[in-house]
């Protein structure tokens, strides 16, 4: 498994998710040495956190549009579910 050296904080959501999926496939195959697996797991955890932050950021940018009492559109911040 070739370790990627890309700075995670500069990765797009799609690139980070793609690399995370690749790491999961490699770990599931069991073909890596223990040290490589541990490093991959740590990078995978960082990629997961980055993806979650990107999704949370995108969710805060979404506006909820509803109709007011007089039928006029009203824009309000989206309700954000936290887990």
pLDDT value, residue 3: 47
CATH code of 10-77, in short, is 1.10.287
- 23 by Cβ neighbours in 10 Å (0-12 / 13-18 / 19+) ranks as buried
pLDDT value, residue 56: 87
User: 24 near 55, Cβ under 8 Å?
Assistant: no
Give residue-wise pLDDT tens across range 15-42.
Answer: 999 999 999 999 999 999 999 999 999 9
Q: Of all residues in the chain, what percent carry a pLDDT higher than 70? A: 82
Task: Give the chain's mean pLDDT.
Answer: 86
Close Cβ partners of 60 (under 8 Å, ≥ 6 residues apart): 77, 78, 80
According to DSSP, the residues that pair with 73 across neighbouring strands are 67
Mean pLDDT across the stretch 68-73? Answer: 82
Tokens of 69: 């009492």
């Amino acid at each position: 498994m070739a370790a990627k050296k890309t700075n995670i904080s500069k990765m797009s959501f799609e690139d980070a998710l793609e690399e995370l999926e690749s790491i999961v496939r490699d770990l599931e195959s069991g073909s890596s040495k223990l040290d490589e697996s541990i490093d991959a797991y740590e990078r995978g955890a960082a990629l997961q956190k980055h993806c979650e932050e990107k999704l949370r950021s995108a969710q805060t940018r979404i506006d909820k549009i509803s109709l007011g009492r007089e039928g006029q559109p009203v824009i309000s911040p989206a309700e954000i579910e936290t887990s």
